[in-house]
Chain A
Amino acid sequence: MRLLALAALLTAAATPALSAEPFNILGTWVPVSHAAARIGTTPSGAYDTYTKPSLVRDKGLGWSYTFDKQDGAAFSGISHGPKGKPEMTVGVFRMDGRRFVLSTDSGNASGEINGDEIEICWTDNVPNYIAASCTTYKRQ
Chain B
Amino acid sequence: MRSLALALVLASLSTATLAAEPPQIVGTWTPVEHSSARIGPREGLPTYTTPSLSHDLHFAWKLVITAQDGPAFAGYNMGPSGKPKDLVGVFRTDGVRFVMSTDGGAATGEVMGDKLEFCFTDAIPVYVAAGCTIYQRQ
- Spell out A's residues near B (CB within 8 Å): 32-33, 35-39, 53, 55-57, 107-108, 110, 114-117, 119, 121-125, 130-134, 136, 138
| A116-B74 Cα distance, complex, nearest whole Å | 31
B26 to A: closest C-beta gap in Å: 11
B87 touches A36 (CB 8 A): no
Please state if B74 and A134 are interface contacts (CB–CB under 8 Å).
no
Which residue, A32, A56, A116, A132, has most C-beta atoms of chain B within 10 A?
A132
Classify chain B: how many residues form its interface, as a range.
20 to 34
In chain B, positions 91-138 with a C-beta closer than 8 Å to chain A are 91-93, 98-108, 123
Binding site for A on B (CB under 8 A): 16-17, 19, 67-74, 86-93, 98-108, 123
A138 to B17, CA, bound (A): 12
| B87 touching A134, Cβ below 8 Å | no
Looking at the complex, which one of A35, A125, A133 makes contact with B105 (CB distance below 8 Å)? A125
Q: How far is the CB of A136 from chain B (nearest CB, A)?
A: 6
Within the assembled complex, what's the spacing in Å between the Cα atoms of A55 and B26? 14
Do residues A114 and B106 form an inter-chain contact, with CB atoms below 8 A?
no
Residues of B within 8 A of A132 (CB): 72, 88-90, 98-101
